[in-house]
Structure 1
């Protein structure tokens, strides 16, 4: 098998793993009224060093601004995030966690820890780290290719 064939096979495994991860994530956070997509945005907002506008959140997640805006609106309607005035831009509000959002984020971690522990059981840390390194390199090359095409 050459590297192109191996990479193509890896792509298929990534697509399948992503679908399984989204389905499992949906099931995990459903009791909190969330989906995997909402969980991802909530987590990105929670982990940011400071409140960010939707465009920055979307860029950090590798998603379109429109899709993240829809999810932020849903999270705001649920009282999990708040939109605050942005001193640098009149229309681009800053997204930050509400008290309810912070409590929900803590609840997610309580659900996530045993789930991740179960998934990690019996897996070699060095192999997990190697897989993460390959995925980072692949993502970097893909993003570089997109940037070159945009120019």
Structure 2
């Protein structure tokens, strides 16, 4: 296969996989009153509070999109903004106990899907899939950085 065909095939597979993950995430999140996007933003701040820009970077989406969801989560009492010691104006988002509880309620469905995927793929192939996807993302980041430098040199 030529490079262009490999890129097209990879992109189409990733787009399809993204759609599949969004669909199953919506099905898991809906019964607890969340959407897949709300769950994704809450999940990004479970370990530590982050500014909206940090959440957007981690998720690979726009800051404006995350800001809209963060504001909705805060308005529904699922998350809250707290002061950021490193930056006066960029507040940190953190889940409230209500938000953490909602994510915990998704846990059994999440664990079931993980077990079913592990059964289907096998543990080694499942782990290899993660490594390949992470490496692909790193390569895309490296190319984007290279393109940004090339653009500014023009």
Q: What's the TM-score, normalizing by structure 2? A: 0.87
Q: Which residue of 1 aligns with 2:20?
A: 20
Consecutive unaligned residues of structure 2, counting only runs of 5 or more, are 150-154
Q: Which residue of 1 aligns with 2:39?
A: 39
Conserved 8 A contact 1:46-1:105: no
2:67 and 2:97 map into 1 onto residues whose CA distance is: 20
1:112 and 1:72 map into 2 onto residues whose CA distance is: 22
Counterpart secondary structure, 2:132? helix
Conserved 8 A contact 2:32-2:102: yes
Counterpart secondary structure, 1:121? helix
1:8 and 1:85 map into 2 onto residues whose CA distance is: 44
1:2, distance to aligned residue in structure 2 (A): 4.3
1:122, distance to aligned residue in structure 2 (A): 3.0
1:116, distance to aligned residue in structure 2 (A): 2.3
CA deviations 1:96-129 (Å, max 9, x no partner) are 1111011112112122111222233232222222
Q: Which residue of 2 aligns with 1:130?
A: 128
1:8 and 1:130 map into 2 onto residues whose CA distance is: 21
Counterpart secondary structure, 2:46? helix
Conserved 8 A contact 2:118-2:126: no
Q: Which residue of 2 aligns with 1:106?
A: 104
Q: Which residue of 2 aligns with 1:78?
A: 76
| Residues 4 and 126 (structure 1), Cα distance of their counterparts in 2 relative to 1, 3 Å cut | farther
1:62, distance to aligned residue in structure 2 (A): 1.6
* 1:147 paired residue among 145, 148, 154: 145
Q: What's the TM-score, normalizing by structure 1? A: 0.88
Counterpart secondary structure, 2:127? helix
| Runs of at least 4 residues off by over 6 Å | none
1:126 and 1:113 map into 2 onto residues whose CA distance is: 18
Q: Does 1:8 align with 2:5?
A: no
Q: Which residue of 2 aligns with 1:68?
A: 66
